[in-house]
């Protein structure tokens, strides 16, 4: 259990789908705690920079009951990597290279229709910092919002937006995504 007089939390935490575990970004690690006892259960170590987001994606609405108890999450970090984890086994499953520091990430529950059938697709909306642009220049658009297809492990399309600074992302009504 983490104790001390300062905050070790680097981003908002997330609960497991069943509410039994709490995933907390603590520097370059995600600490997994029991929600009932507060004891440390495991740690997810694999980022080379501070972890800036942990997301336990919701299962598709029409998923079987067993799929709703999965133990997977995505993390994002200042190392420019999105990582897919089995947080119960504390195993890294997959990495997606973004290449720029990721300051924020949301993963909405999106379904698309193809040939009359609903297809569940996993996308991440990320807020990144373009470190190639000068930070001293007040008008430089260093903040970018991008979409990544987590199934294919690549960026989708071009930039969604460019802004002066990176912004945290939030989901509003689970459909629209706005910088805060």
pLDDT tens-digit profile, the chain (180 residues)? 555 545 667 788 999 988 999 999 999 999 999 999 999 999 999 999 999 999 998 766 666 655 555 789 999 999 999 999 999 999 999 999 999 999 999 888 766 656 666 556 688 999 898 888 776 666 667 788 899 999 889 999 888 877 776 666 655 444 445 555
In a domain, 4, yes or no: no
108 Cβ neighbours under 8 A, 6+ residues apart: 123, 125, 171, 174, 175, 177
Given a contact cutoff of 8 angstroms between Cβ atoms, the answer to whether 134 and 141 are in contact is no
Is residue 71 situated within a structural domain?
yes
pLDDT value of position 62: 63
Let me know if residue 129 belongs to a domain.
yes
Q: Tokens 């067993």, residue?
A: 66
7 falls within a domain: no
Q: CB–CB of 139/150 below 8 Å? A: no
Question: What's the total number of domains in the chain?
Answer: 1
Strands (E), the chain: 14-15, 21-26, 29-34, 40-45, 51-55, 72-77, 81-86, 91-97, 102-106, 110-114, 117-121, 123-129, 143-149, 154-163, 169-172, 176-179
- Chain CA centroid to CA 21, Å: 17
What is the pTM assigned to this prediction? 0.81
Q: How distant is the alpha carbon of residue 136 from its chain centre?
A: 29
Question: Is 1 among the domain residues?
Answer: no
Judge whether 5 lies within some domain.
no
In a domain, 2, yes or no: no
CATH code of the domain covering residue 144: 2.130.10.10
């Amino acid at each position: 259990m983490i104790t001390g007089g300062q905050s070790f939390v680097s981003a908002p935490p997330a609960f497991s789908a069943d509410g039994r575990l709490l995933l907390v970004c603590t520097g370059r690690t995600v600490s997994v705690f029991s929600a009932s006892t507060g004891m440390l259960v495991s740690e997810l170590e694999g980022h080379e920079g501070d972890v800036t987001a942990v997301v336990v994606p919701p299962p598709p609405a029409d998923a079987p009951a067993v799929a709703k108890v999965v133990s997977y999450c995505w993390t994002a970090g200042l190392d420019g990597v999105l990582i897919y984890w089995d947080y119960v086994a504390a195993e890294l499953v997959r990495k997606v290279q973004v290449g720029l520091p990721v300051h924020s990430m949301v993963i909405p529950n999106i379904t698309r229709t193809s040939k009359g059938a609903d297809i569940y697709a996993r996308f991440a909306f990320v807020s990144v910092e373009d470190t190639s642009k000068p930070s001293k220049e007040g008008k430089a658009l260093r903040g970018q919002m991008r979409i990544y297809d987590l199934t294919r492990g690549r960026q989708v399309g071009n930039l969604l937006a460019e802004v002066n600074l990176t912004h945290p992302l939030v989901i509003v009504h689970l459909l629209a995504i706005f910088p805060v």
